[in-house]
Amino acid sequence: MTIEILQFNAFAPFLENGLRDRFLVHRWFEIDDREAWLNGRGSAVRGIVTGGNLGVPTALIERLPALGIIAISGVGFDKVDLELAGRRSIRVTNTPDVLTDDVADLTLGLIVSQFRSLAACDRYVREGRWPAAPYPLGRKLTGRRFGLVGFGRIGAAIAARLAPIGPVAYHATADKRNQLRYFSDPVQLAQHSDVLIVATSANPSTVGLIGREVLDALGPAGVLVNIARGSIVIEKELIAALVEKRIAGAALDVFADEPTVPEALRALPNVVFTPHIGSATHETRENMARMVMASLDAYFAGTPVPNAVV
């Protein structure tokens, strides 16, 4: 019998092809009348494949009585109701480790881009403005103090890249007993930092963790970098801090309501943006696809499921 799954968003070809080869795939994001579809096909769906930035709405899980696995292409699982999944014995899997290097590399690129205005410099040359005047001076990066909010796999990889550039400190739920300076309070970490990097996981305890108090502690020369989740930073407070020059700038790969980014934020010249591309390389997305397929194959074969969160 053909196994039916629900694909929640578009993926790179490697994963798209793997899903089509194995399953009858219903593409949720292409269904116009979702209510009619759920009434007609919802009871046949046994698996969902989704991105970590999207997850699955609880209301949708409740409409799929045969659902047995939610396979997340990504590391975050904050947008899946794990309690409900546990009650219904629905396996939830993700793709840890393989995206660590790419996210850490992008973080370094965002920091350099913020301090040396790389995106603006590119536009300056392309628009033919260089002959009229040299580009304004940037800011020196070497020797800056870096603070990491979160010190899991990705935080540790970022720290390793930044250590040759300047001193690194961190805040986490517990002291990791490493050689880096630890702060139990994110406000104190921000006071100690020139660049504050949000690299913590998204969960109820971290929603809105970075607000006015932390931003004011970072100060008018400080830069905020977010490569974790938009929900961790109070976006309206970040915009106010940037507009009022209570911090110097920001570099953002994630946002509160992706892919929508407020005009008030997009209009600011002291922000560098990327469209949630932390893991977006050919090599890493192919490895993530392999992990998603391995989880699905194991579940439907009745064997132990790798990378299970629930």
Give pLDDT tens digits for 271-310.
Answer: 999 999 999 999 999 999 999 999 999 999 999 999 999 9
Give pLDDT tens digits for 168-203.
Answer: 999 999 999 999 999 999 999 999 999 999 999 999
Q: Which whole number is the average pLDDT over 69-82?
A: 95
Q: Detail the DSSP E strand segments found in 98-180.
A: 146-149, 168-171
- Which of these is catalytic: 229, 235, 237, 285? 229
Active site residue 192: no
Q: For residue 303, give both structure tokens.
A: 């064997």
Same domain, 183 and 239: yes
pLDDT of residue 248: 98
Instruction: Tell me how many domains the chain contains.
Output: 2
Phi-psi region of 98 (alpha: psi -120 to 50; beta: other; left: phi over 0): alpha
pLDDT of residue 271: 98
pLDDT of residue 39: 96
Cβ atoms of residues 50 and 92 within 8 Å: no
Read off the CATH number of the domain in which 295 is found.
3.40.50.720
- Which of these is catalytic: 91, 144, 276, 285? 276
pLDDT of residue 7: 98
**Residues in contact with 261: Cβ distance below 8 Å, sequence separation at least 6, in sequence order:** 255, 273
Q: Which whole number is the average pLDDT over 210-221?
A: 98
- If pLDDT is split at 50, 70 and 90, which confidence band does 69 have? very high
Active site residue 229: yes
- In the predicted model, is pLDDT for residue 1 greater than 80? no
Q: Which whole number is the average pLDDT over 41-63?
A: 96
- Report percent pLDDT > 90 for the chain: 98
Same domain, 200 and 114: yes
Give pLDDT tens digits for 103-127.
Answer: 999 999 999 999 999 999 999 999 9
- Which of these is catalytic: 88, 258, 286, 290? 258
pLDDT of residue 53: 87
Same domain, 118 and 256: yes
Distance separating alpha carbons of residues 68 and 299, to the nearest angstrom = 8
Same domain, 74 and 88: yes
pLDDT of residue 296: 98
Calculate the alpha carbon distances from 181 to 20, 175, 198, 206, 282 in Å: 49, 9, 16, 21, 35
Same domain, 82 and 229: no
DSSP 48: E
Domain residues for the domain of 250 are 100-273
Same domain, 197 and 290: no
Q: Which whole number is the average pLDDT over 140-167?
A: 98
Distance separating alpha carbons of residues 245 and 10, to the nearest angstrom = 38
Same domain, 59 and 184: no
Same domain, 118 and 145: yes
Active site residue 276: yes
